[in-house]
Chains A and B, each alone.
Chain A
Amino acid sequence: MKIILNGVEEIIPDGLSITDLIEWVKEGDPHLMVEVNNTYIYPKEYDRVWVRENDRIEMINPNLGG
């Protein structure tokens, strides 16, 4: 199915949770932040939130420099 991942259209397998999606894109940052349709998702919810067609998902690496 089609999603928009970090502003770019991606075709991903059906039936993925956020945890699955993180694995699918091979994102290894332990401090990764995830936003679905402009709402921040806390890590505890990653297994319970399912990716849907046309979702706009942002995978964010924290910026903590100054």
Chain B
Amino acid sequence: MLANTSILVAGAGGLGSLSSMYLAAAGVGRIVIVDDDVVEPSNLNRQILHGEQGLGKDKVLSAAGRLSDLNSGVTVVPVKLRITDDTIDHILDGIDLIMDGTDNYDTRVVLNRAALKIGLSWIFGGVSGFDGMASLFSPKGKPCFECVFPPPGAKEDPGPGIIGPAAGMIASIQSMEAVKEILGIGKGLTGRLLRLSGMDMRINVSTLPPNPECRTCGRQLRKGSRP
């Protein structure tokens, strides 16, 4: 099952680093990894897909080398590209599931709308400081990303940065959700939001009720269906 699955890892940063490695190690058949940045020294505390040898290189090329080394049976497709409304359709060709490894609100809105449009699930992850969150947004009548994070979304404040293990924990949870979603097992995070507070080491999972006021999916919710 995993070997027949094609996953888009949107971003080769802190989240995408770990999730892509877990997916490759698990034997996912095809990983399309997309990022338009190069590896910088400030990335290395959490972006463990990359090392000092990769400094200055395209993140997707650095990523492809590491993932192929981890599991040569995985087809890794590196795509150096910024994810926008204009590019997303091309990237999603043949994709079964989207892993969020992005670092801002606007790109997640692009993922959300594209996923709703073509009926794909996507696994959200976000981190800052010692904290993080994760959820699974599915087109099957549950809240969408913009229900929970309505526009205009928060601009990520670089602040004190992201501690590596926060990204690692959230990416690990995303990876577990991905395997469950592909295999159709367990109880996923659809309709629920998991939150990690690393500083006081608490993990909460809250229920996300449908939001009929959501401008992106609310109209469909009120009609009782999804696009």
Contacts and interface: CB of A to CB of B under 8 A. Distances in A.
Interface of A: 6-7, 29-31, 33, 35, 38-40, 42-44, 58, 60-66
A31 B154 contact: yes
Contacts of B105: 64
Interface of B: 11, 13-16, 100-105, 108, 125-129, 131-133, 147-150, 153-154, 156, 158, 162, 167, 193, 195, 197, 200, 202, 204-209, 211, 213
A40 to B, nearest CB: 5
Contacts, number: 85
Contacts of B208: 40
A6 B206 CA distance: 13
Given A40-B208, A66-B11, A66-B101, A31 B153 contact: yes
Given A33-B148, A35-B204, A40-B148, A62 B209 contact: no
User: Which residue, of A7, A39, A40, A61, has the highest number of chain B Cβ atoms within 10 A?
Assistant: A40
Contact of A66 (B102, B147, B197, B200): B102
A6 B132 CA distance: 15
